[in-house]
Structure 1
């Protein structure tokens, strides 16, 4: 796999994780908490894939393999960090929606 394809792995998986996290918020907003948590789990799997690619690049650089910092790489890192933040926030939204859902209270 060449460098650009590797970077695209971070972008694609990060983007998928962000989208699934946003879907999780929408599900929670509708009171579908089990589905929201399922989407969060799926987002976590996508983030793990992106993180593995990132880790491989970091380990390669630590071994002395030269890694060019391109605009595409910066974009990939931005995508990944935003996806991680959105997933964290989605978890908070789910908890808040669930806490405030009077139909769940006993």
Structure 2
């Protein structure tokens, strides 16, 4: 049950991000091009499992994009806001399909597989 709730939570974050992005009338081309950009965090796995899990997790937590949303609102930056919403959408999409924060033990071992 908890795992299902976490998947639904991710789906709702993704849908809410799409709605907000649409309401703010940002570029859908930019959205499509950048939706998978946070997966650049996987490059850390080229070094080793530990570094890979750290870099992947840094790109797949809500901390940085939410901080950027706050910064974008303070400085009235629509570009930073659009990028942040895309980033949040990516994380929500990943959670909805079952990708979670990675364990140093292996890429397939995530916080969602332990729920």
TM-score range, shorter chain: 0.3 to 0.5
Whose Rg is larger? 1
Higher relative contact order (CA 8 A, sep 6+): 1
Structure with greater strand share of residues = 2
Structure with greater helix share of residues = 1
